[in-house]
Structure 1
Amino acid sequence: MSPPVQGAALWWLILGLVVVTAVIKAAGPVALGGRDLPAWFGRVIALMAAALLAALVVTSTFADGQRWSVGAHTVGVALAGVLLWRGRSLVLAVAVAVTVTALLRALT
């Protein structure tokens, strides 16, 4: 595992990320030049948010550093997902996920 970025290198990294973000955000308006998008394109863009959220949830659930793993947190998230799928409240799902994860971590 590589050491964390520190000092001036950290600020250069942040500056680089700012520049890349600005270029990405400017690419759309520059490429389209004020033209209207087709209707199908708007629907695709709307679906991308859900796909990105799903990818972030899967990554944070199964990632353990640089490896994929299944552990207590995975079981807690899975149970919360089942509860939400069955129509239970979000507060109950979070409480069950936290409790189950804590109990499994205490046992192992």
Structure 2
Amino acid sequence: QNPQIEASKHKGISYPIKIHLGSSNFRGIACCLRNIGPKKPLWRKKFMSTEAIQAVQCLKLAKSPSKLEQVFNSRLSRLLKADLLDTLTELQRQNELDLALKDVLQQGNK
């Protein structure tokens, strides 16, 4: 016999109920409160804003000091504090520490 899966609904949330049918007369029942699969983290990952992503891309593409200065003045000066911290974290994650340090020094001079 094939195992059957039923779903019960409570307040719009479906809870899967598994019924395991073995070769013997014993039938095991397992009830889960979440879908089968990898467990999600307790803290949801925060997504970067579009402006922060564009700032990181512009910083990585700017090669000359004049271009970097232009990116600092046009892109980074407009970022909110949380977006600026996200930008620094992303640069650090991508091993672009020199750009992150230049960014910190530029913001410190203001």
TM-score range, shorter chain: under 0.3
- Which structure dedicates a bigger proportion of its chain to strand? 2
TM-score, scaled relative to structure 2: 0.26
Computing the radius of gyration from Cα coordinates, the structure with the larger value is 2
TM-score, scaled relative to structure 1: 0.26
